[in-house]
Every structure is written in structure tokens, then in C-alpha cells.
Structure 1
Amino acid sequence: MTWTQAINPLDNLFLSALVAAIPILFMFYALAIAKMKGYVAGLLTLAIAIGVAVFVYGMPAGLAIWSSVYGAIYGLFPIGWIVLTAVFLYQLTVKSGQFEIIKDSIAAITDDRRLQALLIAFGFGAFLEGAAGFGTPVAITAGMLVGLGFNPLYAAGLCLIANTAPVAFGGIGIPIITAGAVSGIDTMAISQMVGRQLPFLSVFVPFWLVFIMAGWKGAKEVMPAIIVSGVSFAVAQWFSANYLSPMLPDIISALVSIVCLVVFLRIWKPQNIWRFKDEPPATLEVKKHSFGAIAKAWSPFIVLTILIGDWGLKSVKALLDTVTIAIPFNAINNLIIADGSPVAVVYKFNYLSAAGTAILISAVITAFILKIRVGDFFKTFAETVKSLTLPLITIASVLAFAYVANWSGMTPTLGKAFTVTGAIFPLLAPILGWLGVFITGSDTSANALFGKMQAVAAADIGVDPVLTVAANASGGVAAKMISPQSIAVATAACNLVGKESDMFRFTVLHSLFFMSIVCVITYLQAYVFTWMIPVYETAKKAAAQISPEAAKAAEAALKSNGTMIMLATGVVILVIAIYAYKQAGGGKLDKNSAKISVH
């Protein structure tokens, strides 16, 4: 028996929206005021959402529960699978000792504090955000800067601010993938839109970092390096987000920025070496390593970049998707009527084409390169699973809540309510993302909470939904620096526990400034620079008009191309692996690995 989704169950849009907002308001209270653990807040929010769906929206209890089950499973795979494998790969490099070489290779390039901030806080921090995310970048980069002699407060604050540029694509693109899942908009289209918003901010962040540290005079002295760092990052971010995959922009743009700046510093040096007044003595011993050792240390992430790049190609995906297992949820499939049509609920277990599988393959190749024993490999994986158990429950519960809200009608209700703002909604859209990240500490969670709402509200006022959904992710990045979770990580890394309020005051104005920039960009793109919005619906309509015979031929050609690409990739990775394997060292894992705080 089917059930039709309710949009205005109380016959008063304001009251209906107020009730629909109860689960979201509770989550904000639970995290910001009650200081609950993320998984506790997530599970309680889910329970409240199911209650609202059943008792206010009239959704049958079975449909509400199965909606949450579907969302939770989707949260674990493919989203949680990406988180798990990304952190696992990172842990392998840490416990094998290779990550120390990576850190040394960055820290040994220059003695100038301004340039160290660009390399470590901005470039290396973005790389860590892309490779692992979830608290890792600030924890590691802030600790490195303090070890080099930075003032602890500045080290923590600079790393928080620098972490603005990569957040939307963090953790191998998890926020964008989540936004696509809950909004129903093509993930690549969201990636393209974010890639046409954030580069404007990314090119500005390096200058702002140095300006905070050394003022206008100090920034002007290293302006060539600032331009190289910011422009190279922004261009690579734009290109990878628009033409490759939402999983790669952070890693590619960070590596491009670091390499460009390192090469530039070989031919250009600032006239003065700038340091903080009365800065503490350095405690981090920076060692110099051979090219071979550095290449070996970086090789796991080079392999990761290649594989993720392949997995993002349509031809490779078409090849790998041939073994996808489709599992209809008969208890809910086609039983919910939304917008006049039944909602098809079929879970696609694409275990080969999932991005997490590419990361796992990278981890296996890493184990070969670093000569990690089989027992240590599986032990590290088990430790990673154990450390991420509660964070994975948080992710599953947030996605479960998102699907209950979407399919019960709560999210469309809130979206309709926001249409009262009319034409200025695009100006406000980034603020929702900013608010979500401030409370939850996660751009992923903010997109899960507000992604569908942004799409509904935009469609109702005649603005392309991809713009506001992307604005949710782009606006959220500005709040990462002031979220309680991020501040807690930064203060802990710099031995500033108890000075969280100082850190908040250090970053809050910068956060509001960056958010306002994204608001203006979004508004201009909605009404002035509309050509910047990707044409994704037209492409879908064109695909739908292709005859079945032509579609089959195109699919066969895609699979053939995918096979050739995979073979070529295998040869390239084999060469890299053999070269890195021949370098000295590796094999035994350190029992004390870096701990990652995941929210």
C-alpha cells in the first residue's frame, strides 16, 4: 500500500516548518549546548525524526524505519567505506615511519615563517584534508608549526584558517558525495559548481594567512610566493573539480601548490627571513632525506591519486559497475509517492567501483612498497576499524536522519518555508552551510542536514538547485575554523587546552569575512554570472533521448576504454611500486600511531 508524502501536514506552512525543524534544532542543542558525543546526538536525532515523521506527517512506521535503515546502510557504504579506507591508508604511512619523512620533506624547504605557513598550514594541510580529513590536518600541521618555533596561538589559528580552502572536498570528496546523495543532484555537477566558487576563496587564503602573521609589509615582501601558492592551488582545484572527480581536488591542488612553491623557491628567495618576535625555540628536529627516500614516502599518495583519478572516469566506472549488486528494498520500494511519482528504493552495492575500494587497493600496494608484513597490515586495519566505530555510527545515524527527513516530507517542508526569502535566498544559502558546520564540525553533516532543503528552496524560486546545494558546502568551509570540535583539536595539538575562547576570538571574524565572500559569490552566480552554473540537466535529457541500441554501443565502447585505461594504469603503478620498493628501509610498523579525531 502506497503512502503520499506530506508537505504541509498542519495546514500552516510556518507551523509545519517549525515542527519539521525540531530534529535539526535538537541536534544543534545536543552538540553545541549539551556537549553530547556525536553518535549519541545522531541516534537521538534519528529517533526524534522518526517520531515526527510518524505522528505529525502520518508516515507509516514501517516506511519511516526502513527509510532510516536505507540511509544508515548508505552512510556505511559507500560513504563510511571511504572514511575507513582513507584513514587506514594514512595510518599505514604513519606507523611505517614514512609519514615522518613526508613531514621533513616539507619542513626543510625554508626557514622563513611566512613561507613555512604557506607550505605546511595551507599546502600540506590541504593534502591531509583530502587524504584523511576529519580533524587530521589541523592536528598535524599545527603541531609541526609549533615544533618549528611558531607561537602556539598563531600556529593553531593559522592552521584553522588555512583549512578553509580544502574542506568541501575533504576526506576524498565525502562532503560532495553526501550532498549528491541527499539532494538527488548529480555529484559531478555539485563538484563542478563548488569548483567554480571555492577557487575565488582559495586564491585569497594564502595572502590572508601571511597578512595575519606579518601585516601588509611582510605580505608584500613574499607576494610572489603568495601568488604562486594561491593561484596554482586555485587553478588545480578548479580543473580537478570540473574535469576529474570530486574525490581528487584537495590532493591534486595541494600537491600542485606545494610543488610549484618548492620549485619557485629554488629560483627566488625573500630579502629577509621573517620570524615571530620572542618566538619559542624550535623543538622539531627536521632531517634531510635522499630523493629516493622522499619518493618512497610520498608514493602511497601518488598511487592513491592515480587510482582515484581512474575510478572517477566514466569508462572505468562503467567497466567496474558490471558487477554491481542491486538490492531492492521491497518493504519500501515504490511505496512512497513524492512529487506525484513513486520513489524507487534500490540499494546498489557497487563494491568494485566504490571510491573506498580504490583507496583499499592503494593501501595494498602501499603495503608492498613499504614492505609491511601481512599480519601488521590486518592488525592496522582492525585498529582503524576500532578507532572509527563511533564516528561511523555518527555518519550512519546522520544519513539515516537525512533520508527519513527527505522521504517523510520534512525536508521539502523546510525548503518551501525558505522560499519566503524570495530572490535573496541564494545570498543566504551559504549561511545555512556555515551554521551546519559550526554546530556539527563537519561539512559532510551540514550537507546531509541541509542539502535537500537547499535544492527544494532553490527550485521553488526559480534558481538552479545545484547552485544552492554547492553553496551549502562552500559556505560551510568558513565555519570549520570556529566549530568547537576543530578548536578542540587545534588547542590540544598546540598545548593550549583551556584557551579555547582565545582561539575562537582569533578566528571568528575571519570566519564571518570568508562566509560573506561566499555569499556574494553565490548571489552573483544566481543572477549575474549564470553561465558559471554547470549544464547537467540538459546532458541527462540528451542521454534519455538516445535509442537503446545506441546506448548499448556507447556502453560497450566505454567499457572497452575502461579496460585499456586500467591496463595502462597497472603498468604505471607497477613501475612506481618497484622503484619505491627498492629504496632502503620500511617493513616494521610502529605501535604508536597518530590518533585521529573524527567528528
Structure 2
Amino acid sequence: MGIFISGLPIVLLIWAMTKRHAVPSHVALPATALMVVLIQWLFFQADVVLLAATVLAGLLSVLTPISIVAGAILLNRVLHFSGAEAVLSQWLKSISANKVAQLMIIGWAFAFMIEGASGFGTPAAIAAPILVGLGFPAIPVAIFTLAMNSVPVSFGAVGTPIWFGLSGLSLSDVQLMDIAMQTALLNSAAALVIPFIALRFLLGWSEIRRNAGFILLSVLSCVVPYVFFAQWNYEFPALIGGAIGLALSVWLAKSGIGLSLAIEREPDDTKLAARKIVKVFVPFALLIAILIVTRVPQWGIKDLLNAMSPLWAWQFGATKFEISQALVLSFNNIFGTEVSWQYKSLYVPALIPFLLVVLVCIPLFGMSRALVLTSVRDTGQRLFLPTLSLMGALVMVNVMMQGGSQAPMLLLAQAFARLLGDSWGYTAALLGALGSFFSGSATVSNLTFGGIQLGIAEEVGLPITLVLALQSAGAAMGNMICINNIIAVSTILGVNNKEGFIIKRTIIPMLAYALVAALFSMIRLY
């Protein structure tokens, strides 16, 4: 009965979000969180004070992902309203007349870099309108960009799915690095397959075969540095890999390397001044530079941004609130329990680098006060519903992990372990994909199912880091069928009521990805 009750909220959540008239995530997730709280209180007889502290910590935890989302969206809106996005689009159009080159540069390499910087569905939302502007049909473009926005997702938004999504599992830094390395290897193996399948939604096989050399080189130009950086860091692989891949893909296209000689249409004859192009890339270069400077431990800035020396403290009851010299906010012993919460204001990539880069962009692009206010308002309007979804997801996850040996997460893990045994490695990625499907985020998928995956690995004796790497890669491949991303891209392209049609197409590359994950698991185990 305990297993049934533990799994009931998740089953109902999946049903609510996938039925014909689906319940939106900002309703379904908070409702599920409330159900989980009631189950813990009434069925598992959880301590009310501990339950209240866990709920509060879950609500406060929303500040980390939502502040990153806010910074990323604000930068995107500033680039849009300043006209920089239009210049970028014009430059990308002029690089090559070859359709494959255009699709790989914009839909693969450029989106790869944007995913590394911001994530949260931004790459497909930026790449899709550019491709439609080049003359590609809207619905196939939506499918193509969704399929392509998968490989870099595990390290999207400066590695948020790894360092935040798995933060509640008490993993050592060595374990996190091993998870990052294996995730990068798995995703890179899938990258040798997914772009070819994705291109098929827009082009014929004959055209793809004629340009296969360029496709492969463009893929490798991103994933080789991606894998290299994942050996020692879990924040930069997608960002740096995408930046290097974009530069190399542009060079390959301009040189005609690996491309068919047949030119099917003329490139845009409009010449852009080099100064304009350089100016457009300043924000991206600055973003990457600041992230590197603040993340490399040897330079000392990382330690300064994480300094915990107390600056101010306030005690109310048993709960202690502190602000450190590096503006780290923390609640300790919430309501007298062992539950705590922490937010690193200067280290979480919201103020630094996103807001900092935005402040540079305003004078750089000569934005008026009205345009800046428009960018801020547009950002605010986009944040309300995602905030509700994340609040529901984080409260649900926190509460399901409460209860020691009778925690709902642990009970579900034990049930899955008994059902599949050591064969779990072949299907672990599908659970991660399911999490992204109904939550709309690889980070939330890792938050939701990371504990279950960890419990299963311990129960059946599978390597913990391998199973969590499968979870992380599965969450990335689930981005293809994520309802939120599909709705966002469709809305931007003016496509209505085609979500079901798109999911039926994107599930094809997702299943191919799952097959690669199963083979990867088999190789690593045997």
C-alpha cells in the first residue's frame, strides 16, 4: 500500500499533463505537491513541523532556478528589442547558400552555445524564427529545433541540471565530475545520430548524404570540446563546446568543406559592417569570459563569491537567517529542524553574469529607457507561470524525499529495483525523459527523479554515477517531447494546435536517443 500511495501522485501528474485536454504544468505541479504533502501528513504520519520546514525550503529553493531563468530571458529580450538579434540573424543568413550548412550552423552549433549559456527552451525559441526567415517551413522547423536541442541540455544554463538538479543527493564533487564525464560521452554518442534524423524532417536523404561530411564535422566541432571540458568541469561543456563549434562550423561553411558543390539559392547579398557583427557578439563573448573567470577555482574569484564569513545574522525562534560577506543568503535549522536553505547571490549565474551583461548591452546598443522597460516587462510576464511550476516541482520533490527508510522516493526506488533488477540500466534514461516531458525542464527532471535513480542503483548494485548519468542524459533527450518547449516554439512561429502532431514526430529521435543510452549502459557495465 505504501508503494501504491507513493506512486499515485506521480501517476496522476503524468495522466493530467498528457491527457487529451492536458492540465498545464503551473496547475498540475502545485496540485501534485499539495497531494504529496497530504499523503505524508495523513498516511505516513510525518512530523508536522518537519513537513512545514521541508515545504518552506522547497519554496525558497525556487529562487535559484527562477533567477537564472529571469537573467537569461532578460538578456534575450534586450538583444531582441535593441535590434542586435536582427543583425545576428542577417549575418547568419549570409554565411552560406547551402541548406545543410544553414541548418547546422543555426539549429545545431548556435543553439548549442545558447543552451550552454541560458537553457530553459531559449535555443529553439531563438533558432526557429531565424530558420523560418531563411524560407524553411514552420512546423518542420519546430520539430527540427526541438530534436537538435537535446545533446547540450545536460549542461544547459551553465550546468544547472547537474550542479543544481542533483544537489539534493549528497554527492561528492568527485561523483559529480564522474556523472558529468559519462553524461557527456553518452550525449556525444547520440550526437552522431540525432542531427541526421533531425535534418530528415526538412531535407531529403540524398541531400543529407551529399553533405554528410559537413554534418559530421560540425557535430564533432561541438562535441569534442564538450567532452574535453566535461572531464574537469560541469558548468562549461555546452557553453564552450558551442562557442568553439559555432566558430568552426562557420569557417567550414565559408570554406565549403564537406558541402555539396550544388548551390540551390543565392545567399543574402546585404553586406554587414564588421563593426556591427563584432558588437552583436560582444554580449556572448563577455558572458563566456565572466563565467570562466568566476568558475575556475585556481583564480580565487570563485572562493570570494562563495565566502561564508557572516556579515549579518538574525535569530527568530529556533530559525537562524544569515547573510555572508559574499551575500550568500541562508536559513539554518528552519523551525528547529535540521532543514536548511541557501542562495549564493553572486555565484548563481543571475546577477553575474546575466544582469551584468545586460547592463553593458544597454549603452552598447544605445537602448532608450522605453526599450529597457519593455524588455523588463516582457521578462516579468514570462516568469509568473514557470515560477508556479517550479514551486510545485521543488516542494513535491523535497517532501517525497522526507521520511528516512519510509520516504516515498525510497519506496518507489525499491519497487522499481525489484521489478527490473540489474536490467534497470537499459531503461534508466527513459525515466529522465519522462521527467522532462511533464515538468518542462531537465533540471526539474533531475530534481524529481534523481533520488529514485540513486535509490534504485543502491538497491540493485549498479554504479551510482552511471545511473545518474543515464538520468541526466535522459532528461536531455526528453527535451524533444517537452510540452512546454513545444508550446513555446509553436507560439513563436504562429503554429496553432499542432502539439500532438509535433510530439508524434519528435518521439522518433527521442527513442533513437534512448537506444543509444541503452547501448552505452551495456558497454559501461559489461
**Shorter-chain TM band:** 0.7 to 0.9
User: How far, CA to CA, are the matches of 1:55 and 1:523 in structure 2?
Assistant: 42
Question: What secondary structure sits across from 1:166 in the alignment?
Answer: helix
1:392-403 equivalent positions in 2, closer than 5 A: 392-403=387-398
Q: Deviation of residue 495 (structure 1)? A: 4.0
Report the AA paired with residue 320 of structure 1: L
Q: Distance between the aligned counterparts of 1:40 and 1:84, measured in 2?
A: 21
**Within 5 Å, which residues of 2 pair with 1:75-114?**
75-76=62-63, 78-114=64-100
Residues 214-229 of structure 1 mapped to structure 2, 5 A cutoff: 214-229=203-218
| CA apart distance, 1:169 | 2.2
Structure 1 residue 454 corresponds to structure 2 residue 453: yes
Cα deviations by residue, 1:296-335 (Å, 9 ceiling, x for unpaired): 11111111111112222223221222225463432456x4
1:347 alignment counterpart: 341
**Partner of 2:182 in structure 1?**
193
Q: Distance in 1 between matches of 2:477 and 2:330?
A: 39
Task: Quote the offset at 1:140 in angstroms.
Answer: 3.1
Counterpart check, 1:42 vs 2:37: no
Cα distance between partner residues in 2 of 1:157 and 1:286: 29
Q: Which amino acid aligns with 1:63?
A: L
Alignment of 1:184-333 (within 5 A): 184-185=170-171, 186=173, 187-211=176-200, 213-246=202-235, 248-268=236-256, 270-273=259-262, 287-314=270-297, 315-322=300-307, 323-324=325-326, 325=328, 327-331=330-334
Contact 1:454–1:472 (Cα < 8 Å) also in 2: yes
| Residue in structure 2 matching 1:365, options 336, 343, 360 | 360
1:146–1:193: structure 2 CA closer, same or farther, 3 Å change rule?
Answer: same
Output the CA distance in 1 between the equivalents of 2:162 and 2:112: 16
Write out per-residue CA displacement over residues 471-520 of structure 1, whole angstroms, 9 at most, x where no aligned residue: 11201222322333333334344444234343233322222111111122
Residues in 2 aligned to 1:119 and 1:189: alpha-carbon distance in whole angstroms? 30
The change in CA–CA distance for 1:112 and 1:266 in structure 2 (over 3 A counts) is: closer
Deviations 1:552-575 (A, max 9, x none): xxxxxxxxxxxxxxxxxxxxxxxx
Output the CA distance in 2 between the equivalents of 1:45 and 1:29: 12
Equivalent pair of 1:114/1:274 in contact (CA under 8 Å): no
State how far apart, in whole Å, the 1-side matches of 2:349 and 2:133 are.
35
Structure 2: which amino acid aligns with 1:16?
G
Match of 1:547 in 2: none
Aligned residues: 496
CA drift of 1:232 comes to: 1.0
Report if the CA contact (8 A) 1:203-1:233 is conserved: no
Residue in 2 that maps onto 1:587: none
How many Å separate the matches in 2 of 1:497 and 1:211?
Answer: 23
Query: Distance between the aligned counterparts of 2:369 and 2:255, measured in 1?
Result: 44
Indicate the larger mover: 228-237 or 186-195.
Answer: 186-195
State whether structure 2 residue 521 is matched by structure 1 residue 522. yes
Are the aligned partners of 1:134 and 1:171 in contact in 2 as well (CA < 8 Å)? yes
The 3-state SS of whatever aligns with 1:407 is: coil
**Consecutive unaligned residues in structure 2, runs of 5 or more:** 308-324
**1:200, 1:234 within 8 Å by CA — same for their partners in 2?**
no
In percent, how many aligned pairs have the same letter? Answer: 22
Could you tell me how far apart the structure 2 residues matched to 1:449 and 1:390 are?
19
The structure 1 residue matched to 2:415, chosen from 414, 417, 436, is 417
State which of 43, 47, 58 in structure 2 corresponds to 1:56: 43
> TM-score, normalised on structure 1?
0.77
The one-letter code of the counterpart of 2:471 is N
Distance in 2, matches of 1:215 and 1:512, equals 21
Structure 1 Cα separation of the partners of residues 188 and 301 of structure 2: 28
Residues of 2 paired with 1:82 and 1:392: CA distance? 12
CA offsets 1:88-146 (integer angstroms, 9 cap, x no match): 11211111111111222222111111111111111222233333333332233222222
- Secondary structure of 2:120 counterpart: coil
What corresponds to 1:592 in structure 2? none
Look up the equivalent residue of 2:351 and give its one-letter code.
Answer: T
Inter-partner Cα distance in structure 1 for 2:208 and 2:378: 44
1:404 aligned partner, one-letter code: V
Distance 1:111 1:173, change over 3 A: same
User: CA offset at residue 405 of structure 1?
Assistant: 0.9
Q: Is the 8 A contact 2:194 2:509 kept in 1?
A: no
Are residues 507 and 379 of structure 1, via their aligned partners in 2, closer, same or farther at CA, if it must alter by over 3 Å?
closer
Read off the aligned partner of 2:350 and give its amino acid letter. G
What CA distance in whole angstroms lies between the structure 2 residues aligned with 1:346 and 1:469? 24
The alignment partner of 1:21 has SS state of: helix
Could you tell which deviates more after superposition, 398-407 or 439-448? 439-448
C-alpha distance in structure 1 between counterparts of 2:503 and 2:514, whole Å: 16
User: Residue in 2 aligned with 1:512?
Assistant: 511
For the residues of structure 2 that align with 1:286 and 1:313, how far apart are their CA atoms? 43
* Structure 1 match to 2:428: 429
Structure 1 residue 155, shift from structure 2 partner: 1.9
1:475 aligns with 2:474: yes
- Counterpart of 1:329, as a letter, is N
Query: Normalized against structure 2, the TM-score is what?
Result: 0.87
* Whole-Å separation in 1 of the counterparts to 2:140 and 2:370: 42
Asked if 1:70 corresponds to 2:73, the answer is no
Q: Distance in 2 between matches of 1:484 and 1:346?
A: 33
| Aligned residue among 139, 143, 146 for 2:125 | 139
Shift of 1:84: 1.1
| Equivalent residue letter for 2:88 | I
Which amino acid in structure 2 is aligned with residue 163 of structure 1?
N
Does structure 1 conserve the Cα–Cα contact (< 8 Å) formed by 2:57 and 2:340? no
Aligned to 2:375: 380
Measured against aligned partners, the alpha-carbon deviations of 1:248-295 in whole angstroms (never above 9, x if no partner) come to: 33322222112111112232253443659xxxxx9x978431222111
Aligned pairs for 1:170-185 within 5 A: 170-185=156-171
Checking the alignment, whether the CA contact within 8 Å between 1:121 and 1:162 is kept in structure 2 is: yes
Aligned mates of 1:371, 1:237 — CA distance in 2 = 35
What amino acid is aligned across from residue 12 of structure 2 in structure 1?
A: F
Task: Determine the C-alpha separation between the residues in 2 that align with 1:388 and 1:133.
Answer: 14
Q: Which runs of 5+ in 1 are unaligned?
A: 1-14, 277-281, 336-343, 529-599
Distance 1:321 1:266, change over 3 A: same
CA RMSD of aligned residues (A): 2.6
* Secondary structure, counterpart of 2:23 in structure 1: coil
CA contact (8 A) 1:85 1:356 kept: yes
Q: Is the 8 A contact 1:71 1:396 kept in 2?
A: yes
- Residue 29 of structure 1, aligned match among 3, 15, 19: 15
Once the two structures are superposed, the pairs formed by residues 147-162 of structure 1 within 5 Å of their partners are 147-162=133-148
Quote the offset at 1:19 in angstroms: 1.0
